[in-house]
Amino acid sequence: MSPDEFVSALVLTVFDSTVQGVVSALESPPGRSPHARTVTLHEWFARLPAADQRFVVEVVRDASHSALFGVLSVLDGVRAIDGPPHADLALTATDGQGSRILNEGGDLHDLLNALVHPPSEPLAGE
């Protein structure tokens, strides 16, 4: 697995699924007896005009991106989670063809940005 493949897989399994899950719960609370908090958020979301709902979805995208970006920044060593001296983290992928350190170049967070927030991406409501 390459760093690009790893980040692409994270976009599908973490970023996209998080956004879809949160938006789905806002649109239609899951389960037979959804939690009161979930129902309250759904009722609030349902009352919003369509343009405002699109902006809420953008905020959900930004929050999901921010969380994943932060984790990848820690793995890349550009954001510390411990006091000095800082530990170096190595993310190793092992498959039938051997092992590879995925965060060796320190650019996993940049790969995420290239996939999730291209520089020219307009807001959905614009």
Query: What's the CA gap between 102 and 92, in Å, rounded?
Result: 6
Query: What's the CA gap between 115 and 112, in Å, rounded?
Result: 5
In a domain, 40, yes or no: yes
For 19-41, what is each residue's pLDDT tens digit? 999 999 999 999 899 999 999 99
pTM for the model:
0.86
- Cβ contacts of residue 116 below 8 Å, gap of 6+? 11, 15, 61, 65, 68
Contact criterion met (CB below 8 Å) for 42 and 31: no
Q: How far is CA 62 from CA 3, 40, 44, 66, 73, in A?
A: 22, 22, 20, 6, 16
Q: The domain containing residue 22 runs over which residues?
A: 3-116
Please tell me the total count of domains within the chain: 1
In a domain, 94, yes or no: yes
pLDDT(120) > 70: no
Contact criterion met (CB below 8 Å) for 44 and 56: no
In a domain, 70, yes or no: yes
pLDDT(77) > 80: yes
In a domain, 124, yes or no: no
Q: Which residue has the higher pLDDT, 86 or 56?
A: 56
- Span 65-76, average pLDDT: 95
In a domain, 83, yes or no: yes
For 58-69, what is each residue's pLDDT tens digit? 999 999 999 999
Query: What's the CA gap between 69 and 66, in Å, rounded?
Result: 5
